[in-house]
Amino acid sequence: MTIKIGDTIPDVTFTTMTENGPEPVGKDFFAGKTVALFAVPGAFTPTCSAKHLPGFIDKTAALREKGVDAIACTSVNDVFVMGAWAKSAGAGDVLMLADGNAAFADAVGLTMDGAKYGMGTRSQRYSMLIEDGVVKQLNVEAPGEFKVSTADYLLGQL
């Protein structure tokens, strides 16, 4: 079943790269905050690297002005790939959340089959506004599209 507006996000642990190495990030990260979470099919892939992540990096200040406390990107990649992508892209304040086994993508019902591209199970492309662990906005892209999961689209909903 796909997560929907009004649902509480599942209790799944992500991993993020820190100065001290990989660290877990659990559901408590979302507690008491407004978080703009966006998901991409893969780090370093064309649309993800050229448009999706850069859009949220560029709009960090505007999102914060609208009440967003944190911005996070998730992908079905390992923490080392997500850490390298963050450095390569200059992700700044965008927290990179590795969902290496697709546990979160599966729990929210937003997986896709990327086997045709040698990628296996991946996350669909989407953006989500989460307030204190509850989904307030959910913008899932149609396959091959990049319209409703952008930073600009989410800003328009705030």
Q: What is the pLDDT of residues 46-103, one digit of tens each?
A: 777 778 899 999 999 999 999 999 999 999 999 999 999 999 999 989 999 999 999 9
pLDDT at 150 over 90: yes
* Residue 74: exposure state from Cβ atoms within 10 A (0-12, 13-18, ≥19): buried
Instruction: Give dist(CA 131, CA 99) in Å, integer.
Output: 21
The whole-model pTM stands at: 0.94
Question: What is the homologous superfamily of the domain 35-157 according to CATH?
Answer: Glutaredoxin (3.40.30.10)
% of the chain surpassing 90 pLDDT: 84
For 15-50, what is the HEC assignment? EEEECCEEEEECHHHHCCCEEEEEEECCCCCHHHHH
Quote the pLDDT of residue 112: 79
Does the annotation count 48 as an active-site position?
yes
Q: pLDDT confidence of 34, banded at 50, 70, 90?
A: very high
Backbone angles phi, psi at 106, to 5 degrees: -70, -45
- Using an 8 Å Cβ cutoff, are 114 and 125 in contact? no
pLDDT at site 42: 85
Percent of the chain surpassing pLDDT 70? 100
3-state class (DSSP) for residue 69 = coil
Q: For the chain, give percent helix, strand, coil, nearest 5.
A: 30, 30, 40
- Structure-model confidence comparison of residues 38 and 45, the more confident one: 38
pLDDT the model gives residue 129: 98
Number of Cβ within a 10 Å radius of residue 19: 5
Residue from 25, 40, 48, 97 carrying the catalytic annotation:
48
